[in-house]
């Protein structure tokens, strides 16, 4: 039986690093995915992360919160593979690297369905799955799926209650506003105990409250933020956890960030991860100091071969100095 490390053990570890998989864009495909995951594993990354998208409308008026110009970064005519399917595929192509999703938009799928898929991946990977979860942002995608956009937060809260019961209880009952069922069995249970780790995405106060009540980690994706601002948000998560009757030490601080390696030194701005390996080491020391336990990195180079080169440089020249 696979038992997850305790939070005290997690907090005493060096900062971990993950990278986003190329599941979207022209380079996406089986050979590229295998190459990306296996090379990340060989280079010492701790996790690979799969983004989530069900449909992409041709016209998107909703402001995208995760790019500097607030426009969605994947054009509608580019391939976008299914997040969970990609992780299931890579479970059989890798041996030890953690497989993560950042983040599964919970209202898009019924919890009884995706909980089964997640446990299947976790079992087939021998306990190597982390579930990043979130409420979504694109109104047009919600409309296409006939899911009420304004109810997405309440639906997500119900789903997080449901999956905790599915993964830990024998006779499962739930009565809510959006989901109702009685006396269900759910097997197999996850290998990780007490459940598959739930890392709650989102940056605002409601996301922080959700992480405090239901999560094993707060997992925001900030495009521009200082480490001090991230630390302040985490302090709010911990305060909310205390109010909810949880031990605040049970919620880890994790984060997604865009990153760019440069050949020459560039002016430094603590709101961005951009620069030479030496500059990035110095910038990331501050993330380690404030207690970030895992940093999921999205290398922002458009062409896949260039991205491969930057990832390798990061693994060789940056990571070892932050694990010393």
At residue 158, the pLDDT reads 98
What DSSP assignment string belongs to 46-66? Answer: SEEEE---S---S---SPPTT
Count the domains in the chain.
1
* Per-residue pLDDT reduced to its tens digit, 79-116: 999 999 999 999 999 999 999 999 999 999 999 999 99
Spatial distance between the Cα atoms of 171 and 14, rounded to a whole number of angstroms: 39
How much is the pLDDT for 4? 52
CATH number at residue 115: 3.20.20.30
- Span 60-64, mean pLDDT? 91
pLDDT of the residue at 1: 39
Q: What is the pLDDT of residue 14?
A: 80
Convert the pLDDT of each residue in 3-38 to its tens digit. Answer: 455 544 544 468 999 999 999 988 899 999 999 999
Q: β-pairing, 172-175 with 180-184?
A: antiparallel
CA gap 319, 89 in Å, rounded: 27
Q: Is 60 contained in some domain?
A: yes
Please compute the mean of the pLDDT values over residues 57-78 and round it to a whole number: 88
Residue 13: predicted pLDDT: 64
Asked whether residue 130 carries a pLDDT value surpassing 50, the answer given is yes
Task: Report DSSP letters for 228-246, one per residue.
Answer: HHHHHHHHHHHHHHHHTT-
**65 in a structural domain:** yes
pLDDT score of 273: 97
More confident of the two residues 47 and 3: 47
pLDDT digits (tens, 9 = 90+) for 135-177: 999 999 999 999 999 999 999 999 999 999 999 999 999 999 9
- Give the pLDDT band of residue 73 (cuts 50, 70, 90): confident
Q: Which domain holds residue 42?
A: 7-259+290-300
Q: What integer pLDDT is reported at residue 324 of this predicted model?
A: 72
Specify if 305 maps to a domain.
no
Its pTM stands at 0.94
pLDDT of residue 18: 98
Q: Which residue spans within 82-193 are E strands per DSSP? A: 98-105, 129-134, 172-175, 180-184
Q: Tell me the CA distances in angstroms from 100 to 52, 63, 169, 252, one per residue in order.
A: 11, 25, 24, 15
Looking at the domain assignment, is residue 160 inside a domain? yes
> What does the pLDDT read at residue 163?
97
- Pull the structure tokens for residue 111: 């919890």
Residue 132 has pLDDT above 90, yes or no: yes
pLDDT band at residue 204, thresholds of 50, 70 and 90?
very high
Q: Is residue 2 part of a domain?
A: no
Does residue 313 lie within any of the structural domains? no
22 alpha carbon, distance to own chain's centre: 14
User: Do residues 277 and 268 touch, judged by C-beta distance below 8 A?
Assistant: no
pLDDT in tens, 228-280: 999 999 999 999 999 999 999 999 999 999 999 999 999 999 999 999 999 99
> Average pLDDT of 193-215?
97
Three-class DSSP labels, 68-106? CCCCCCCCCCCCECCHHHHHHHHHCCCCCCEEEEEEEEH
pLDDT of residue 8: 46
Task: Work out the number of other CB atoms within 10 angstroms of the CB of residue 212.
Answer: 23
């Amino acid at each position: 039986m696979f038992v997850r490390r305790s939070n005290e053990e997690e907090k005493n570890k060096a900062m971990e690093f993950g990278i986003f998989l190329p599941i979207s864009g022209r380079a996406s495909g089986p050979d590229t995915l295998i190459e990306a995951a296996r090379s990340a594993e060989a280079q010492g990354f701790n996790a690979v992360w799969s983004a989530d998208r069900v449909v992409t409308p041709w016209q998107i008026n909703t402001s995208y919160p995760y790019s500097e110009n607030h426009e969605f970064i994947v054009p509608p005519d580019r391939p976008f593979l299914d997040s969970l399917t990609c992780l299931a595929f890579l479970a059989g192509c890798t041996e030890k690297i953690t497989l993560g999703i950042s983040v599964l938009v919970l209202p898009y799928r019924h919890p009884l369905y995706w909980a089964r898929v997640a446990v299947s991946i976790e079992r087939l990977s021998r306990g190597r799955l982390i579930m990043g979860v979130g409420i979504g942002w694109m109104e047009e995608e919600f409309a296409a799926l006939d899911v009420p956009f304004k109810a997405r937060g309440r639906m997500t809260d119900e789903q997080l209650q449901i999956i905790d019961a599915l993964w830990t209880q024998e006779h499962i009952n739930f009565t809510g506003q959006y989901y109702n069922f009685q006396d269900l069995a759910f097997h197999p249970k996850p290998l990780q105990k007490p459940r598959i780790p739930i890392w709650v995405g989102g940056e605002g106060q409601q996301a922080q409250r959700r992480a405090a009540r239901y999560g094993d980690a707060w997992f925001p994706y900030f495009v521009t933020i200082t480490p001090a601002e991230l630390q302040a948000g985490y302090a709010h998560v911990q305060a909310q956890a205390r109010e909810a009757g949880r031990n605040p030490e049970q919620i880890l601080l994790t984060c997604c960030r865009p990153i760019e390696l440069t050949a020459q030194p560039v002016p430094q701005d603590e709101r961005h991860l951009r620069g030479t390996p030496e500059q990035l080491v110095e910038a990331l020391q501050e993330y380690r100091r404030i207690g970030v336990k895992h940093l999921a990195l999205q290398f922002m180079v458009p062409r896949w071969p260039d991205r491969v080169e930057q990832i390798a440089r990061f693994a060789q020249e940056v990571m070892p100095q932050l694990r010393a």
